[in-house]
Amino acid sequence: MTGRALYLDGVSVVFDGFRALNNLSLIVEPGELRAVIGPNGAGKTTMMDVITGKTRPTAGTVRFGDTDLTRLDEPSIATLGIGRKFQKPTVFDQLTVFENLELALKAPRGPIACVKWHLSGEARDRIAQVTEEVGLLARAHDPAGILSHGQRQWLEIGMLLAQDPELLLVDEPVAGMTDAETEHTAAMLVGIAGTRSVVVVEHDLEFVRALGRRVTVLHEGSVLSEGSIDHVQNDPRVIEVYLGR
Amino acid sequence: MSVALSAPPPSRLRLGLRAGLGVAVLLLAALPTLNALPADHALHVSDFIVSVTGKWICYAILALSLDLAWGYAGILSLGHGAFFALGGYAMGMHLMRLIGPRGAYGHPVLPDFMVFLGYTDLPWFWQGFQYFPYAMLMVLLVPGALALVVGFLAFRSRITGVYLSILTQAMTYALMLAFFRNDMGFGGNNGFTDFKELLGMPLGTPAARAMLFYASLVALVGSFLICAALTRTKYGRVLTAIRDAESRARFLGYDTTQHKLFAFVLSAMLAGLAGALYVPQVGIINPGEFSPGNSIEAVIWVAVGGRGTLAGAVLGAFSVNALKTWLTSAAPDLWLFVLGGLFVAVTLFLPRGLIGLFDRLRRRRAS
Ligand SMILES: Nc1ncnc2c1ncn2[C@@H]1O[C@H](COP(=O)(O)OP(=O)(O)OP(=O)(O)O)[C@@H](O)[C@H]1O
Ligand SMILES: [Mg+2]
């Protein structure tokens, strides 16, 4: 797999006169793991909204490989190979953990294909494997609605894994996790990167440090600084707006 | 590495429901036979019971269809009566064509109302309806096509919730007004009636009543099995996912417009089938069938029975209509208040309807 790069160039998003993204440019190379940090309201989630088709940019270019993402709707972008984990974990409460993962599992998405879908042994094994990876094996047949916040967080990560996307957008995965879980998540994301590209938004700097990769700092909708965690932590502009507070 | 994941046990409620439904179907199937017994026989069932039950069976199919759209896909249609009525009209057109020269005016081809309105030729859209298979095709295709167009426009524009409900209500209202017009070619406010026969069988006879009853029962069981099979597939779970978090389903790559459209069209076709079975049993179809109140009543059946469960939809259709039949003779003025009260009560106290109530009682007994 040669993989596709993600390009954002001069992207702006204006909500009622407020610039949530302001001339944002960012390139994520195939296989790269990129951490994005920034204070509340910096535009991190909005950036993901733009990439996944939820929000149309007011200006700028968003491309995945050769594909212009601004022309596509959410399902088309998702089937293109871009998966997303939401900041506020969103799973299907009435369905079981297993069923949530089954829906996420990479497979044809049309109505007829879903009617005809037969859970093969291979698919079942894959779901079981993901269920174990996210530590929900004992809860596999419980409705997602009765899971704790942390477990929902894990389920969403599991859904992202089951989807097997080429680019993973992960919004605040470790919020509410224990230290051990945080470490596990970091190791998992590092393991995924290489064959997949990963963009992870996080406030937890320990976590970002554990990832040990390039960091982009967003502020007021544009890139304030970019580089290693040590580089950005010592950047005076970053210290001023974010770390120094 | 492979980890064993055992399948979940089937729910007790579901097993109980299935047994209950089987018994109910057998009891229903016995009705025409019991009707044929001599009138003084202890087990004799009156004509009234058979004909009224035959109607309820059609309502139950309508309830199933609405439940597929609302209970599973989250599309609260307040216009499902329109699909029912269109199916009824398609069947009515067939029955009208079969009257042939036996009409009051004795015209060899034109139905009475056309002669009365001065038509000289049969309108093009009436062609072909003399053939039963063609008419049956239209019973499914006309409601299906309407659902396809309305659904496509609404779902693509992401019209959901109350706006979608209002849209579907407006749809049935607009159709009602249209069908009231004489120049539409559907008999205006009188609609169609005075049917003579169907499939060579004179209507209004006990034999015809029994046949239509059985046909409806078979259709109900068939629709139930189709819906049950469908909702147990991954498609059924996709619908549930869309109902509960449509935007999330989109980000997983599901084109929710397509999925909802598929369910909505199928649902409309089932409703059309219900209407087609209904019309020869009641002997009339007129624009009143499009009245918004009918669609709302169907929503109440499903809510009372328990939306999101197929058995609930069927149960709701039978129980609310049984109540209606009894009340409209016992205290006709009360019916609308009771219906409204029922809806409020169910919404407030029984969000999962009668099925939810049974489930709760069973659990209480178990613990
Ligand atoms: N749909 C919207 N309409 C109006 N304003 C919005 C909308 N979405 C986001 N915003 C605003 O855009 C700004 C950026 O929001 P965004 O959610 O992208 O921030 P963030 O970096 O993800 O913050 P956090 O760390 O709190 O998650 C915020 O000020 C937010 O209020
Ligand atoms: Mg955010």
> Which one-letter DSSP state was computed for residue B203?
T
Alpha-carbon distances of B34 from B30, B60, B277, rounded to whole Å: 6, 22, 22
Same-domain status, A147 and A159:
yes
- Do residue A158 and residue A208 come from a single domain? no
Q: Does B157 touch chain A (CB under 8 A)?
A: no
Name the residue ranges covered by the structural domains of chain B: 13-24+46-366
Q: Are residues A177 and A244 in the same domain?
A: yes
* Angle between helices B292-305 and B310-330 in degrees, nearest 10: 120
Q: Which residues of A touch B259 (CB under 8 A)?
A: 111, 114
Place of tokens 């509340």: A40
Which residue of A79, A96, A111 is in closest CB contact with B259? A111
Q: Candidates A24, A44, A49: which one to mutate for ligand 1, based on the most atoms within 8 Å of Cβ?
A: A44
Q: How far apart are CA B275 and CA B360, in angstroms?
A: 34
Task: Indicate whether A1 pLDDT > 60.
Answer: no
> Taking the CA of residue B9 as centre, how many other CA atoms within 13 Å lie in the half-sphere pointing to its CB?
4
The reply to whether B10 touches chain A by the CB within 8 Å rule is no
pLDDT score of B247 more than 90: yes
Ligand 2 center–CA A171 separation, angstroms: 7
Mean pLDDT computed over A151-178: 91
Residue A240 lies in a domain: yes
Q: What is the pLDDT averaged over residues B320-331?
A: 90
Mean pLDDT of chain A: 91
Domains identified in chain A, total number? 2
Q: Is the minimum CB–CB distance between A138 and chain B shorter than 8 Å?
A: no
Strands (E) located in B197-265: 197-198, 201-202
Categorize the per-residue pLDDT at B7 as very low, low, confident or very high, splitting at 50, 70 and 90.
Answer: low
**Residue B117 carries which side chain, given as an amino acid letter?**
L
| Whether residue A155 is found in the same domain as residue A175 | no
Q: Which residues contact B95 (CB under 8 A, 6 or more apart)?
A: B192, B195, B196, B197, B198, B203, B279, B280
* Chain A residues whose beta carbon lies within 8 Å of the beta carbon of residue B251: 52, 54, 74-75, 78, 83-84, 86
Domain that holds residue A244: 1-81+165-245
Residue A239 has pLDDT above 90, yes or no: no
Under the banding of pLDDT at 50, 70 and 90, the label for residue A244 is: low
Q: Which of B250, B31, B249 is nearest to A76 (CA)?
A: B250
Both A211 and A144 in one domain: the answer is no
> B286, B290, B243, B244: which is closest to B271 by C-alpha?
B290
User: Nearest 5°: phi and psi at A171?
Assistant: -100, 110
Chosen domain end from A163, A194, A212: A163
Average confidence (pLDDT) over A128-148: 92
Please report residues of B whose CB lies closer than 8 A to that of A115.
230, 233-235
Among A201, A210, A115, A198, which residue's Cα sits nearest to residue A160?
A198
B312-B314-B317 Cα angle (round to 5): 105
Q: Are residues A216 and A241 in the same domain?
A: yes
Cβ–Cβ below 8 Å for B5 and A102: no
Q: Are A213 and A34 in contact (CB under 8 A)?
A: yes
Residue A129 main-chain phi, psi, to 5 deg: -65, -45
Domain final residue pick, A135, A163, A191: A163
Tokens (6 digits) for B100: 């042939």
Residues A159 and A178 in one domain: no
C-alpha closest to that of B314 among B58, B125, B50: B58
Whether residue A12 is found in the same domain as residue A77: yes
pLDDT over 60 at B1, yes or no = no
A50 & A123 share domain: no
Looking at the structure, do residues A183 and A151 belong to the same domain, yes or no?
A: no
What share of chain B has pLDDT > 70, as a percent?
A: 96
Most confident of A131-135, B7-11, B282-286: B282-286
pLDDT greater than 80 at residue A106: yes
pLDDT of residue B2: 44
Placement of tokens 């396809």 in the chain? B148
For B116-145, what is each residue's pLDDT tens digit? Answer: 888 888 999 999 999 999 999 999 999 999
Between positions 321 and 350 of B, the ones with CB within 8 A of A are none
Same-domain status, A118 and A7: no
Q: Which of A14, A15, A223 to mutate to test the pocket of ligand 1 (most atoms within 8 A of CB)?
A: A15
The whole-angstrom distance between B70's CA and the closest CA on chain A is 15
What is the B307 CA–ligand 1 centroid distance (Å)? 37
State pTM to two decimals. 0.92
Ligand 1 site residues, Cβ closer than 6 angstroms = A 15, 20, 38, 40-46, 87
- Indicate whether A181 belongs to any domain: yes
DSSP per residue over A51-93, as a string? Answer: HTTSS--SEEEEEETTEEGGGS-HHHHHHHTEEEE-SS----T
pLDDT tens, residue by residue, A10-30 = 999 999 989 999 999 999 999
Distance from residue A196's CA to the centre of ligand 2 (Å):
22
Q: What is the pLDDT of residue B3?
A: 53
Instruction: Please give the number of the atom of ligand 1 that sits closest to the Cα of A41.
Output: 19
In this structure, the residue with its CA closest to atom 31 of ligand 1 is A41
Whether residue A87 is contained in a domain is answered as: no
- Helix H or strand E segment including B270: helix B256-282
CATH code of the domain in which A195 resides: 3.40.50.300
Residues of chain B with Cβ-Cβ distance to A165 below 8 Å are none
A35-44 pLDDT per residue, tens: 999 888 899 9
Does A171 lie in the same domain as A59? yes
Whether the CB of A78 is below 8 Å from some CB of chain B: the reply is: yes
Contacts of B226 in chain A (CB under 8 A): none
* Contact assessment for residue B252 and residue A103, using Cβ atoms and an 8 Å cutoff: yes
| Structure confidence at residue A216 (pLDDT) | 94
State the average pLDDT for chain B.
Answer: 91
Using a CB-CB cut-off of 8 Å, the residues of chain B touching A90 are: 245, 247-248
Domain final residue, candidates A117, A132, A163 = A163
Please indicate if any CB of chain B lies within 8 Å of the CB of A236: no
Is A111 an 8 Å CB contact of chain B? yes
Could you tell me if B309 lies within 8 Å of chain A, comparing CB atoms? no
Reported ipTM: 0.91
pLDDT over threshold 90, residue B221: yes
In a domain, A102, yes or no: yes
Q: Which of A76, A94, A112, A131 to mutate to test the interface with B (most CBs of B within 10 A)?
A: A94
Contact A46, A13 (CB under 8 A): yes
Say whether residue A94 is in contact with chain B using an 8 A CB cutoff.
yes
Size of the A and B interface in Cβ pairs below 8 Å: 103
Q: What is the per-residue pLDDT across B277-306, written as a single tens digit (0 to 9) for each?
A: 999 999 999 999 999 999 999 999 999 999
